[in-house]
Amino acid sequence: MQIPLRALICSLYLLVLAGPTWATGWPSALDASLARAGIPRSASALLVQDVDAPVPLLAHRSEDAMNPASVMKLVTAYVALDRLGPAFTWKTRLASDADIRNGTLHGDLFITGSGDPRLSRERLWLLLRELRTQGIRRIAGDVVGDRSFFRLPPHDPAAFDLRPLRPYNAGADALTVDYGAVRVRLIPTATGVLASSDPLPAGLALDSRIKHPINGGTGNCGDPLAQLVASKTDTPAGVRLTLDGTLPQGCTEPFDWNLAPLPPDRLFEGVFRTLWRELGGEIGGRFRDGRTPPTAHQLAETVSPNLPEVLRDMNKWSNNVIARQVLATLGALAEPGEDSVPAGARQIQRTLAANGIETAGLVVENGAGLSRSERISATTLGHLLLAAWKSRTMPELMSSLPIAGVDGTARRRLPNSPAAGFAHVKTGTLNDVRSLAGYVLARNGHRYAVVLMINHPNADAARDAQDALLEWVAGL
């Protein structure tokens, strides 16, 4: 009996979709890379699937939940776009119920935050300029920070890795500025390093003790921060940030060091006070937390970039603070009055389930992946990538991902490779964890969802394995 040509083609296509088994279809370059790194196949989870196919081309341990590191940001971004929409913005408002007479606001100034992840010193300066243009020079009462949009427990920046000054350890806050960090400008001199911050937050002092090596020599600059350390000390006047260590003579160009010596509320107060003073303003009262009264009228407002632009910063550069803010925002809007972070995690679970995405084994702690407890399976990530590809916000999610060999955290990946420019992927890195998830446009014109997670003590050596997988998929 002769088989119709169309039926034969369909049968062959289904065989291709079913794909080679793990034993026979394992890409040889990936296998060799993992072997060189001393990583067994049992420490990895893999999924490769054509975005238009019903079944994976490759799958290994895809149902097992593993630590994804920063790939968890992909989940947070997908849910944020689905629930908040691409036009969503955050607003920070200044308001008061007091009169303005003779250049003085005769009462309190209320600052209402909504968790804006992108509130910067520049935008805060413009916001305060609006007060000055309304004739306000002196605030007679208190400056009241209304952080009630988020409900958050106390945050310990040292809890994750005992590095409380690292910017990625800054916690979420409804009123935060500059990602909760201070940018210190370091200028090498003949004898050491000059340190400055513009603006230097009120209540923070800088003390640079960085020197060149005693034995002299030019030295290769490499990473100028490699031999530097920072510490902070509480003083009666505020916080003293001390910078110490050695800088090779070969480091002659200025460079920046981002640190988080102040909790979000004190950083916001410090930047506010400095900027207001530079604008010629005065404050008669003190800074404190409180609620904006319903009788207060708005004086000024600053609006964040829209959600897709914020998510590009989050994913392209793996910004943990943005991810924390986005998760807390999801929780605050979904369950007002509840702890914003667990509420955000529940919103993620509900949204994935509502979109037909498997959630077995999913654990969300902070939405950033900076966690030892977060877990997700390759199947969940794969289903998310497939659902996102068919969603109304696919362009926004796609454009947030780093492009291999082009930009973001993947800009140095796969140079001069067939995959360069064709792989939009989010990567994740923690001790004992290397992960990757995203899309690859292959030589055959098909786009594939790709997931690879490795949890193993030798995971640090897994970068070549990630690249080998991306190149293999790009060459299909």
The Cα–Cα gap between 89 and 76 comes to 16
Range in 52-61, 101-110, 221-230, 335-344 with the lowest mean pLDDT: 221-230
User: Has residue 393 got a pLDDT over 60?
Assistant: yes
- Ramachandran class of 161: left when φ > 0, alpha when ψ lies in -120 to 50, beta otherwise: alpha
Mean pLDDT of the chain: 93
Q: What is the 8-class DSSP label of residue 170?
A: P
CA angle (309 as vertex; 319, 119 as ends), nearest 5: 65
Question: Residue 309 is inside which H or E element, if any?
Answer: helix 307-316
Tell me the pLDDT band of 258, cut-offs 50, 70 and 90: very high
Q: Which tens digit of pLDDT belongs to each residue from 54-101?
A: 999 999 999 999 999 999 999 999 999 999 999 999 999 999 999 999
User: Has residue 456 got a pLDDT over 50?
Assistant: yes
Burial class (CB in 10 A: 0-12, 13-18, 19+), 255: middle
Q: Distance between alpha carbon 59 and the CA centroid of its chain, in Å?
A: 28
Instruction: List the structure tokens of 416.
Output: 């001069």
pLDDT above 90 coverage of the chain, percent: 89
Q: Give me the pLDDT at residue 418, please.
A: 86
Q: Which tens digit of pLDDT belongs to each residue from 203-213?
A: 999 999 999 88
Instruction: List the structure tokens of 252.
Output: 């002659």
Q: What is the 8-class DSSP label of residue 62?
A: T
Q: Give me the pLDDT at residue 19, please.
A: 38
Q: Which tens digit of pLDDT belongs to each residue from 411-424?
A: 999 998 989 999 99
191 by DSSP, 3-state: which?
A: coil
Q: Which tens digit of pLDDT belongs to each residue from 213-242?
A: 866 555 678 889 999 999 999 999 999 999
Place of tokens 């790194």: 37
Q: Give me the pLDDT at residue 466, please.
A: 97
* pTM of the entire predicted model: 0.93
Instruction: List the structure tokens of 332.
Output: 């605050």
**Residue 61: which residues within 8 A CB-CB, separation 6 or more?**
42, 44, 45, 46, 378
Single-letter amino acid, residue 103: G
Single-letter amino acid, residue 274: T
User: Has residue 13 got a pLDDT over 60?
Assistant: no
Q: Distance between alpha carbon 196 and the CA centroid of its chain, in Å?
A: 26
Place of tokens 């209320």: 110
The arithmetic mean of pLDDT across residues 260-266, rounded, is 97
The Cα–Cα gap between 219 and 475 comes to 42
User: Has residue 243 got a pLDDT over 80?
Assistant: yes
Instruction: Tell me the angle at which helices 72-84 and 378-389 cross, rounded to the nearest 10 degrees.
Output: 40
Query: Which has more confidence, 248 or 452?
Result: 452
Q: Other CB atoms closer than 10 Å to residue 8's CB: what's the count? A: 11
Gap between the terminal Cα atoms of the chain: 34
Instruction: List the structure tokens of 229.
Output: 């350390």
Tell me the pLDDT band of 15, cut-offs 50, 70 and 90: very low
Q: Give me the pLDDT at residue 191, please.
A: 83
The arithmetic mean of pLDDT across residues 342-354, rounded, is 98
Label residues 409-422 b or e (16+ Cβ within 10 Å = b).
bbeebbeebbbbeb
The Cα–Cα gap between 336 and 333 comes to 6
Query: Which has more confidence, 2 or 276?
Result: 276
Query: Which has more confidence, 190 or 330?
Result: 330
Strand partners, 376: 66
The Cα–Cα gap between 236 and 287 comes to 17
Question: Residue 308 is inside which H or E element, if any?
Answer: helix 307-316
Instruction: List the structure tokens of 136.
Output: 């306000």
Question: Count of H helices and E strands in the chain?
Answer: 12, 22
Q: Other CB atoms closer than 10 Å to residue 125's CB: what's the count? A: 18
Q: Give me the pLDDT at residue 17, please.
A: 39
Say if CB 103 and CB 135 are below 8 A apart: yes
Single-letter amino acid, residue 212: H
Sign of the C-alpha dihedral computed for residues 310, 315, 317 and 320 taken in this order: positive
DSSP string, 65-126: EE--GGGHHHHHHHHHHHHH-TT---EEEEEESS-EETTEE-S-EEEE----TT--HHHHHH
Instruction: List the structure tokens of 120.
Output: 């910067």
User: Has residue 438 got a pLDDT over 50?
Assistant: yes
Say if CB 449 and CB 427 are below 8 A apart: no
Q: Which tens digit of pLDDT belongs to each residue from 421-435?
A: 999 999 999 999 999
Q: 287-289 and 282-283 as β-strands: parallel, antiparallel, unpaired? A: unpaired
